[in-house]
């Protein structure tokens, strides 16, 4: 394998396949870092609206995007676009994708050789990565075995949970005080006090979108009322993000749901909507995302400009692509997508589901134990 900091499948060029907890101690309200290089917290500017947000046919475009991201629609499109049976197409498509994004388990030894002598920093999404995707987002519980695996990883490496959920809710699920938590897609970050990886005596709280909190509360209340008549719709307040879940909504009603979201956004041009796994996310139009959160946490750890650090980011959602892109831009790190079917991604490796994520974490801890005894 080439001696590079971004760990990518050997001999391959990047291609894509189409088809809060409440702290008992004082918090430091941390400003965006402004260190050298491309700092995570350089001036947080308003984000430009994308065509999907305000161009003509807004509702139609977004609904079609929602359909296109559904695994069932991906398979149907594959079957219609080829003369061979759907099963054969799916096998061929998956094989090609796996060549470009091999399993992080099958390439585990290769990855560990590439990280030898370097500082690993772990970044983990929550839903679909540490816990299964479920119909009720309030029931996305982490298993005890997964919690134990994450706890053991955190003993070996700095470990952060980076989620679209509000920080307090993620902590209530995970219940591990030694972790770093970044909720609301990185817009609500808490670094605990007195960890073995930082010298800060007080906990650090960083909320780059704090001025939007009253607006987000208003939007949550309004959308909760507007979507009450749509069976299966669930509106979740994630502090600096309002999540509109449509996993349990009949597809025939997706257009109506999008119209309700659009009506609210018309009243708040300072907000934007993005799409995740069967969820629409309404959030402030600032240039901040999971990738920026990754950079901020590395800077907080004093590792932002360190050439011997290897950030490992594991996630399953579209919003995790911002973090995968940061790893590529930095020329440093390992991006692992969690997905059971092929999809476009900036990640270099893959795992199929949370069970494989747990296997990877367990092997990582064991590798660290064995390498430490040599």
The angle subtended at Cα 52 by Cα 46 and Cα 56, nearest 5°, is 115
Q: How is residue 42 annotated by DSSP?
A: S
* C-alpha–C-alpha distance, residues 259 and 253, integer Å: 10
Cα separation of 171 and 194, whole Å?
Answer: 18
Asked if 216 and 241 touch (Cβ cutoff 8 Å), the reply is: yes
Active site residue 136: no
Q: Work out the end-to-end distance of the chain between its first and last CA atoms, rounded to an integer number of angstroms.
A: 23
190: helix, strand or coil: strand
At 332, list the tokens. 């440093």
What Rg, from alpha-carbon coordinates, does the chain have? Answer: 20
Query: What number of other Cβ atoms are within 10 A of residue 361's Cβ?
Result: 23
Q: Are 146 and 131 in contact (CB under 8 A)?
A: yes
Phi, psi of 325 (to 5 degrees): -65, -40
Eight-state DSSP code of residue 126? S
Pairing state between β 159-162 and 119-124: parallel
Q: Decide: residue 352, CB within 10 A, 0-12 exposed, 13-18 middle, 19+ buried.
A: middle
Query: Which residues partner with 305 through β-bridges?
Result: none
Positions of E strands within 101-226:
119-124, 159-162, 180-183, 188-191, 203-206
Of 125, 127, 317, 320, the catalytic one is: 125
List active site positions: 125
């Amino acid at each position: 394998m080439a001696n590079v900091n971004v760990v990518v499948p050997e001999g391959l060029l990047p291609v894509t396949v189409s088809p809060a907890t409440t702290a008992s101690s004082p918090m430091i309200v941390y400003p965006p870092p402004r260190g050298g290089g491309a700092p995570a917290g350089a001036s947080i500017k308003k984000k430009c609206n994308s065509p999907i947000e305000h161009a003509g046919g807004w509702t139609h475009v977004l609904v079609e995007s929602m359909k296109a991201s559904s695994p069932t629609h991906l398979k149907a499109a594959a079957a219609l676009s080829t003369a061979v049976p759907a099963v054969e197409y799916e096998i061929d498509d998956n094989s090609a994708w796996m060549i470009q994004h091999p399993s992080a388990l099958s390439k585990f030894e290769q990855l560990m050789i590439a990280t030898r002598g370097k500082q690993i920093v772990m970044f983990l999404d929550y839903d679909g990565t540490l816990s299964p995707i479920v119909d009720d987002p309030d029931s996305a519980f982490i298993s005890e075995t997964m919690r134990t695996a994450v706890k053991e990883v955190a003993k070996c490496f700095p470990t952060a949970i980076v989620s679209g959920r509000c920080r307090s809710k993620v902590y209530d699920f995970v219940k591990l005080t030694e972790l770093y938590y970044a909720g609301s897609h990185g817009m609500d970050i808490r670094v605990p006090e007195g960890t073995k990886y930082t010298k800060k005596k007080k906990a650090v709280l960083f909320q780059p979108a704090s001025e939007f909190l009253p607006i987000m509360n208003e939007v949550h209340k309004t959308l909760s009322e507007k979507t009450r008549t749509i069976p299966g719709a669930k509106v979740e307040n994630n502090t600096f993000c309002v999540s509109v879940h449509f996993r349990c909504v009949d597809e025939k009603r997706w257009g109506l749901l999008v119209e309700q979201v659009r009506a609210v956004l018309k009243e708040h041009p300072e907000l934007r909507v993005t799409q995740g796994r069967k969820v629409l996310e309404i959030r402030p139009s600032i240039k901040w995302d999971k990738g920026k959160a990754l950079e901020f946490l590395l800077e907080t750890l004093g590792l932002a400009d360190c050439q011997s650090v290897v950030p490992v980011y594991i996630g399953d959602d579209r919003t995790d692509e911002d973090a995968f892109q940061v790893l590529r831009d930095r020329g440093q790190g390992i991006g692992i997508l969690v997905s059971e079917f092929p999809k476009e991604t900036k990640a270099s490796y893959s795992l199929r589901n949370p069970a494989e994520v747990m296997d990877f974490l367990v092997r990582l801890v064991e590798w660290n134990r064995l390498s430490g005894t040599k």
